[in-house]
Amino acid sequence: MNYKVVLSEEVKAALAAGKPVIALESTIISHGMPYPQNVKTALACQRLARRYGAVPATCAVLNGELHAGLTDEQIDYLGRAGRNVKKVSRRDIPVVMARMEDGATTVAATMFIAHLAGIKVFATGGIGGVHRGAETTMDISADLNELGRTPVAVVCAGPKSVLDIGLTLEYLETQGVPVIAFRTDTVPAFYTRDSGFDAPCRADSVEELAGMVSAMDGLHMNSGMVIVNPIPEKYEMDPDKIDKATIKAVAEAKKKHIEGREVTPFLLSRIAELTGNASLDSNIALVYNNVCLAAKVASTMAMQAAAEPARE
Ligand code: PSU
Ligand code: MN
């Protein structure tokens, strides 16, 4: 079995030369958005990363091997397969590997692969979190524990309103994970810019963010970081509309006994249906915004590292 990450030539060369690289996940492609928008978005993310100075490393499991850096054909395959491909979180990695299966990686599994490959910055749409009603279901995404144990900085648009944002922030605090809000005082709520929860920390420049990620890395803290980047105003959704759709989708999931790994994909697609796909447009816009910021942070880290001798 190959226990190393299979790197694309482009990713391998960039990592060897200390050039900026950002990780991208693949569950968002297979389970987070419908085809063909998912493939279009994933390919556009790669182009955007390059435009802002970073090599994109989209991660997945293919034929039992961990990959960082996919071809357009591999992305197209994951997008077309959609929910027929396995959603792979940390717990699933040894299973799909031994069975030589394919899998789309969640934030948790992508962080794991990124860290093995030596990638420090990762962009996605939203992270998993503590679900509403978790006090009885115990449904808490493995993404949160991964953030507590793997030194990768995840740029996202905040926990989605389908989650319990207050409990998610508490859980991240317990896990020792910094949550840094970019140019805002409150935690954004994915489709909207303000969840009403105060951000634990605010940063106003890319240089500041890069310094924080470098400190996390240099200290070998063995834990990650969340950078929350609000959706651009132009694409923000009406909070009432999204709230109503969310409450309806959460109630339906409960009634239909949707559980485990099915919960998040069900809620995402149901909310898209209930909002007449307006949520999908917002979702795509915020992912692009996060990819740009992650690429800028990775590029700035590379510049800062080149300018300053290592502090060992
Ligand atoms: N948030 C999104 N889109 C997504 C996801 C989260 O806006 O597609 C995916 C991510 O891959 C995340 C996963 O890691 O859902 C969380 O799933 P769960 O709640 O089952 O841990
Ligand atoms: Mn879950």
CA of 263 to the centre of ligand 2 (A): 6
Ligand 1 atom closest to the CA of 25, numbered from 1: 11
Active site residue 10: no
What mean pLDDT comes out for the span 32-43?
A: 97
* Number of compact structural domains in the chain: 1
* Structural domain containing residue 290: 6-306
CA 166 to chain centre: 19
Summarised one tens digit per residue, pLDDT across range 192-214 is: 999 999 999 999 999 999 999 99
> Would you say residue 44 lies in a domain?
yes
What mean pLDDT comes out for the span 285-294?
A: 98
> Would you say residue 148 lies in a domain?
yes
Q: How far apart are the first and last CA of the chain?
A: 35
What mean pLDDT comes out for the span 268-294?
A: 94
Summarised one tens digit per residue, pLDDT across range 112-155 is: 999 999 999 999 999 999 999 999 999 999 999 999 999 999 99
What mean pLDDT comes out for the span 91-109?
A: 98
Query: What local confidence, expressed as pLDDT, does residue 261 receive?
Result: 94
Query: What local confidence, expressed as pLDDT, does residue 311 receive?
Result: 58
> Would you say residue 19 lies in a domain?
yes
At residue 19, does pLDDT exceed 80? yes
Query: What local confidence, expressed as pLDDT, does residue 161 receive?
Result: 80
Query: What local confidence, expressed as pLDDT, does residue 308 receive?
Result: 81
CA distance linking residue 3 with residue 16, whole number of Å: 19
At residue 257, does pLDDT exceed 60? yes
Query: What local confidence, expressed as pLDDT, does residue 92 receive?
Result: 98
Three-state helix/strand/coil letters over the chain: CCCCCEECHHHHHHHHCCCCEEEECCHHHHCCCCCCHHHHHHHHHHHHHHHCCCEEEEEEEECCEEEECCCHHHHHHHHHHHHHCEEECHHHHHHHHHCCCCEEECHHHHHHHHHHHCCCEEECCCCCCEECCHHHHCCECHHHHHHHHCCCEEEECCCCCCECHHHHHHHHHHCCCCEEEECCCECCECCECCCCCECCEEECCHHHHHHHHHHHHHCCCCCCEEEECCCCHHHCCCHHHHHHHHHHHHHHHHHCCCCHHHHHHHHHHHHHHHCCCHHHHHHHHHHHHHHHHHHHHHHHHHHHHHHCCCCC
CA of 105 to the centre of ligand 1 (A): 9
Active site residue 236: no
> Would you say residue 214 lies in a domain?
yes
The token duo for 76 is 């197209």
Query: What local confidence, expressed as pLDDT, does residue 222 receive?
Result: 95
CA 240 to chain centre: 25
Q: Which ligand is nearest the CA of 283, by number?
A: 1
Ligand 1 atom closest to the CA of 107, numbered from 1: 14
As to burial, measured by CB atoms within 10 angstroms (0-12 exposed, 13-18 middle, 19+ buried), residue 145 is middle
> Would you say residue 169 lies in a domain?
yes
The more confidently predicted of residues 260 and 160 is 260
- Our answer on whether the CB atom of 56 is closer than 6 Å to any ligand 1 atom is no
The model's pTM is 0.97
> Would you say residue 67 lies in a domain?
yes
Summarised one tens digit per residue, pLDDT across range 209-239 is: 999 999 999 999 999 999 999 999 999 999 9
CA distance linking residue 291 with residue 48, whole number of Å: 7
Tokens 């080149």 appear where?
A: 306
CA of 247 to the centre of ligand 1 (A): 18
Ligand 1 atom closest to the CA of 104, numbered from 1: 11
**CATH number where 179 lies:** 3.40.1790.10
Q: Please, what is the average pLDDT of the chain?
A: 96
Query: What local confidence, expressed as pLDDT, does residue 310 receive?
Result: 61
CA of 309 to the centre of ligand 2 (A): 43
Choosing from 106, 130, 164 the residue with most ligand 1 atoms within 8 A of its CB, the one to mutate for a pocket test is: 106
- Our answer on whether the CB atom of 146 is closer than 6 Å to any ligand 1 atom is no
At residue 23, does pLDDT exceed 70? yes
> Would you say residue 1 lies in a domain?
no
Query: 220: how many CB neighbours lie within 10 A of its CB?
Result: 8
CA distance linking residue 249 with residue 281, whole number of Å: 18
- Our answer on whether the CB atom of 264 is closer than 6 Å to any ligand 1 atom is yes
| Strand 65-68 to 55-62 pairing | antiparallel
CA distance linking residue 54 with residue 164, whole number of Å: 33
Query: What local confidence, expressed as pLDDT, does residue 63 receive?
Result: 98
Catalytic residue among 146, 160, 236, 296: 160
- Our answer on whether the CB atom of 121 is closer than 6 Å to any ligand 1 atom is no
Summarised one tens digit per residue, pLDDT across range 55-90 is: 999 999 999 999 999 999 999 999 999 999 999 999
> Would you say residue 311 lies in a domain?
no
- Our answer on whether the CB atom of 160 is closer than 6 Å to any ligand 1 atom is yes
Ligand 1 atom closest to the CA of 131, numbered from 1: 19
